[in-house]
Amino acid sequence: MTDRVRNLILVLLLLIPIISANFGYHEIVSIITRWKTHEQERFANQKLGEIAVHNDISQHLSVYCATFKDKLTNLLNHYSDRSPESLPIPDLAVRSFNSPFPRHELWVFAWPSEKAIASLLFTNTSFSGRRPVEMVFNHILAESRNVSQKDHEARRNEKVLQKIFGRGSIGKVIANNQRGIATPVIYKQTPSYLVWDYTRNASGKAFGYFLLVQRNQDLQKSAFALSAEKTGIGNEHAGGFISIFSQTGDHYFPERLTRSVVWQNWRRNIGTVINNRDEWEKNGFPWGMKLGKYKLYTRILRQDPHVAFIILPDLSQTGFPGWLKTLNYLAVALIFLLLLRGLMLDIWPFAAIGSRFLAAFLLATTLPVALFMTSATAYVYERYNADENQIEEALTSCLLNFDAGKEYLENSYKTAFSRLMSDQKIKTLLDEKGIAAADAIFARVNEMTSAGSDKVPISGIALYDMTGDSRFHIQGSIAEDDFVAMASFYGQSFTTNLRNFVKKQEPELALPEQIRNEKYLAAMQSFRRSNEGLEYEVERFRNRVIKTSVGRGHLEYIYDFISIGGKNRFTLMLAWLNSDINQIVLRQNALKLGLSSPHIQITGFQHSAAGVESILDTDRSISREQHQQYAQIAKSAFSVKSGMIKSLLSGRSVVAYASRNFDNTVLIAATDHDQKNSAHTLRLLSFAGLGIFGFTVLVFSGLATYVRVVRPLKRVKLSLDQIDKGNFPQITTSERKDEIGLLNNEFATMIKGLEERQRLASMLSDQALSALSASSDGTMLRSEALNGVVLISDIRDFTTMCEKYEPKLVTRLLNIHFAEMAAVITGYNGKIYKFIGDAIEAVFIDEPGSSQSAAL
């Protein structure tokens, strides 16, 4: 390989650092981008979940009304000494229900004390019937507060209520079950939504309201606009709603999204499900689909022919940044110029050994350094996110313990019920007195369920005999009417199943006539499935926990037949409100978690008609801002039936769990990143220290190699340059046993030999040196015949002079003599042949073609 090729390869190898830098940058950015995209998808999922929860107009009405009620409460508390007429109710109403809230009619009522009646304070409608509206509100208020009314007044108010809000409106239902909830009514012969509520302060002053929204307007558009406003769509991020069946039903926030060419082309291509069914079936709903410089995320809405979407920036790497491209161009241009100069002018870089060593060292270290930085960055980033996943798994485990606690409590109910069914005292009381012993049996049930370590709260107890006669016991927070209605309804099936069971076991027994309630029998027919009735469904779950709806909540119950002397004669049912045991389980588990893991924050939210409400006492470590953020995450979690939603807030991991055992409940666990950040910082410092140590080792190795290899070679080169100038540098011998030490010692020996030859040459004439140089092998001299004149000079009385003067003086005078004679002889082209003591023998050779004789 020629030197030209070697130089060419060396210059081309300069591309290795450039390639390594680009590779490392690409890998690092790819890792970071992948995790950022993951976080973006998580954010999109959370935001779309919030939109999915807020797409119901009735819920928006309830939420806005709840906010309006809070504002009325603040007015009562802060201005209790002022008359209601002097308060800014109109301005408050306008600010509370401004656009995009739909067109509405609002009545605000006030009453100064509990015994007074409410009067209309403000309305934004032209409805002329002031007195009827006041009568209806006072009627509903009395029903809600269980204030007795005269029969004729109650019937009159009920008729007025049905005249204004439709015949299907029932005052007791609206008052007790629909407070703060958007209730469908008929107003002015138009389907509408009605929301009512009231608030009062400690002194008894109160405000109340009716809000009515007619449904003959585009409420869907209003719902979408309110959803976008609530979730920040249109302000923070672009988004909206795509109609599945019609392209004219799309809603965009902001509106300028419709001017996007990329969006218009995509929307035109995707079409509707009816016209482009194959495309929808093939690709499904877009998730993370690229639209220019953005990504599209979508989610189907429940019971709505629209798809919610959000548009976020595309985080994927589209190329190298400008500064890196500039460095690449400059580096490649420099290498190209070096190649061009070398090929054309044969001037190559790195000609010196020092520069060659530096280039080789950089080439050898660039790739390992790039790989170290890439792998270190990847490890640190992956480990950081792995720690985040580990934290989320720990939070998930904590939340699942709540469901386990609920299941444990339900098992406790089963255990308690089994003890009741085998209790001999209960059987004795039934055998002696029958259903007349109900009060004693209820006392015994309460005694057994409240004793021991596994206490279970009971909301209602029902006892039935074979005739269908029943006794009920109600306690706790359940409404008596609700429990009696539920127990009477299911009691029909319990009794029927008991009688059928007795017929099979005791066919000879004459059963007494069964009591039947025609109202409940008609309702039972609506529960018929296929050829099987409600009795079959109830029997399937005997001695198992059954859940049913009661009022605005859920009730769980368990029932079975009581055997007297081995013969079934009675039915016992235990019932408990789901909300009661939910509170017990939630508080107990929150307390346990607080003791075992104080660094974890726990809170819970329940989805009601008024929106999202907190169901746990707020942890003191949870700030108001954090509580609001958790509420937003809970709203997103309500969009999934059951599962986890994981989010990242500023320096905090949050996991929201849509519980499968707690109805309409989202539990949230959160913890800060202090420990994770400390571990992350420690890893960063460790890798930084390792990098500094490795860099130090590289530099030290390079310097050591330079000192041990390059510097001795450069010293040899410098010495050669000095010898070329006629100088003989002093080089010390080396004790090294390697090739560099051997080279140094041999070079030092060579310099000494040259120096000795130089001293020897000074004792010979130039002609002698020429003759020696002209010899064929350097050891044998050739004889040569020449024509010329020989000059022999001698110092007169040299012996006497030596005897007379000091040797130093004689030597100095002799040297002066030789120098002067040599100058004269060589000045006339003479050649000194030899020095003989004080004599000089010189030869003047006749040169061929010379016009002057040597003798002259």
pLDDT in tens, 138-192: 999 888 887 888 888 888 988 999 999 988 888 888 888 788 888 999 998 899 9
Q: What is the mean pLDDT of residues 393-420?
A: 86
Structure tokens at 799: 């012996």
pLDDT for 575 equals 92
pLDDT for 440 equals 93
Please tell me the number of Cα atoms within 13 Å of 191 on its side-chain side.
7
Of 551 and 652, the one with more pLDDT:
652
pLDDT in tens, 622-676: 888 888 888 888 877 776 655 788 888 878 888 888 887 787 788 888 888 888 8
Where is average pLDDT lowest: 120-124, 197-201, 559-563, 657-661? 657-661
pLDDT for 743 equals 81
pLDDT for 796 equals 84
Spatial neighbors of 309 by CB under 8 A, at least 6 apart, are 48, 239, 240, 241, 242, 286, 296, 297, 298, 299
User: Cβ–Cβ contacts within 10 Å for residue 406, how many?
Assistant: 21
Spatial neighbors of 4 by CB under 8 A, at least 6 apart, are 342, 346
User: Mean pLDDT across the chain, nearest whole number?
Assistant: 83
Q: What is the mean pLDDT of residues 802-828?
A: 85
Largest CA-CA distance found in the chain, in angstroms, rounded: 179
Structure tokens at 283: 């690709």
Spatial neighbors of 806 by CB under 8 A, at least 6 apart, are none
pLDDT for 473 equals 93
| 507 upstream amide cis, omega within 30 of 0 | no
pLDDT for 302 equals 76
pLDDT for 611 equals 67
Q: What is the mean pLDDT of residues 575-604?
A: 84
pLDDT for 391 equals 87
- Kindly list the distances between the CA atom of residue 308 and the CA atoms of 251, 270, 642, in Å, as whole numbers in the listed order: 9, 15, 20
Which 8-state DSSP code applies to residue 747? H
pLDDT in tens, 563-582: 988 888 999 999 988 878 88
pLDDT for 578 equals 82
Q: 659 φ, ψ to 5°?
A: -65, 145
Give the β-pairing of 546-550 and 553-564: antiparallel
Which 8-state DSSP code applies to residue 267? H
pLDDT in tens, 440-451: 999 999 999 887
Instruction: Name the range with the highest mean pLDDT among 207-221, 289-303, 519-533, 838-852.
Output: 207-221
> What Rg do the C-alpha atoms of the chain give, in angstroms?
53
Q: Is residue 251 predicted with pLDDT exceeding 70?
A: yes
In this prediction, residue 19 has a pLDDT band, given cuts at 50, 70 and 90, of confident
Q: Domains in the chain, ordered, with CATH?
A: 353-421+603-697 (no CATH), 425-581 (3.30.450), 698-759 (1.10.8), 766-845 (3.30.70.1230)
Q: What is the mean pLDDT of residues 823-848?
A: 81
Percentage of the chain with pLDDT > 70? 92
pLDDT for 609 equals 61
Structure tokens at 117: 């009646």
Q: Which stretches of 100-223 are assigned E, i.e. beta strand?
A: 105-111, 119-123, 183-187, 190-200, 206-214
Q: Is residue 778 predicted with pLDDT exceeding 60?
A: no
Q: Measure the CA–CA gap between 196 and 414, rounded to whole angstroms.
A: 41
How many separate helices (H) and strands (E) can be counted in the chain? Answer: 25, 23
What sign for the dihedral angle of Cα 521, 525, 528, 530?
positive
Where is average pLDDT lowest: 61-70, 221-230, 341-350, 606-615? 606-615
Q: What is the mean pLDDT of residues 193-222?
A: 90
In this prediction, residue 128 has a pLDDT band, given cuts at 50, 70 and 90, of low
pLDDT for 782 equals 63
pTM over 0.75: no
- The whole-angstrom distance between residue 68's C-alpha and the CA centroid of its chain comes to 36
Q: Is residue 356 predicted with pLDDT exceeding 90?
A: no
- Kindly list the distances between the CA atom of residue 616 and the CA atoms of 35, 397, 627, 634, 652, in Å, as whole numbers in the listed order: 34, 19, 12, 13, 20
pLDDT for 519 equals 59
pLDDT for 409 equals 81
In this prediction, residue 761 has a pLDDT band, given cuts at 50, 70 and 90, of low
What sign for the dihedral angle of Cα 58, 63, 66, 68?
negative
Question: Smallest Cα–Cα separation from 493: which of 528, 442, 530?
Answer: 528
Q: Measure the CA–CA gap between 376 and 175, rounded to whole angstroms.
A: 66
Q: Is residue 855 predicted with pLDDT exceeding 70?
A: no
- The whole-angstrom distance between residue 356's C-alpha and the CA centroid of its chain comes to 49
pLDDT in tens, 100-115: 899 999 999 998 877 7
Q: What is the mean pLDDT of residues 114-122?
A: 83
User: Cβ–Cβ contacts within 10 Å for residue 370, how many?
Assistant: 20
Report the 3 state secondary structure along 588-612.
HHHHHHHHHCCCEEEEEEEEECCEE
Q: Is residue 212 predicted with pLDDT exceeding 90?
A: yes
pLDDT for 48 equals 86
